[in-house]
Chain A
Amino acid sequence: MKLPWFKRIGIFYIPKSMIGWIMLLSGFIYAVYIFIDIDSRSHSVSDTLINFVFNLIIIGAVYSLIGYLTSRSDNPD
């Protein structure tokens, strides 16, 4: 598969190819699923948010690692 999939802008990795967009979309869908799951089990808004933000950070960390590893092009020259 042809690299790069992502391009870094600031502290975010922006998709540059179709696979990159699929990755971002998967992360987003997973985050929505996690939110619904946490919301169904939590007792208050703050309970939902505190647990959701933690999961969101983990998703962001994994996404950034994938972005870092796949943001280099195949031919550096």
Chain B
Amino acid sequence: METENFENKLIQMTKPEVSQLKHQDMLANAITKAKDKSVVSWWWLCIPLYIIATLLMKTFFIPGTTLISNIQKLTGKEMYSSVLFFFLLPIVFITINFISIRKIYLLSGNPKTVNFIFSIWFNAVVIIFSMLVILIYLLKI
């Protein structure tokens, strides 16, 4: 009788299944964190980008001035804050977003290019704009 019960129990038992892998959670978490970081980076990056946009407008409307001369004038007046917003912060953003992209890539294993680009496109945009800000800042040298 006992053996029969045990056999019935064995028949009823199914293979233990894990509906969601821990690895999936880690990847989802990494993507969310990367998006959060890229959003904060973007807001702070808007400050130097806006200054560059206003300097471009100044170049356009005031004859005889160039973007480089305007940036030189700005960095002469605001030495420390210009280094902070045009050089140090963009370097920090590039580093943070690059690390986030690398983490997603490593956790994804061998991801399809389209899926991978879809999950990191905003981080890539932040990196590109950060590089642009540094490049424009270094033009004054």
Contact surface of A with B, Cβ cutoff 8 Å: 8, 10-11, 50, 53-54, 57-58, 60-61, 64-65, 68, 71
Contacts and interface: CB of A to CB of B under 8 A. Distances in A.
Interface residues of B, number: 13
A58 B42 contact: no
Which secondary structure dominates where chain B touches chain A? helix
B36 A61 contact: no
B54 interface: yes
Contact of A54 (B43, B44, B50): B50
Given A60-B43, A61-B43, A68 B36 contact: yes
Nearest to B54: A50
B28 to A, nearest CB: 12
B87 to A, nearest CB: 17
Contact of A61 (B37, B47, B51, B54): B47
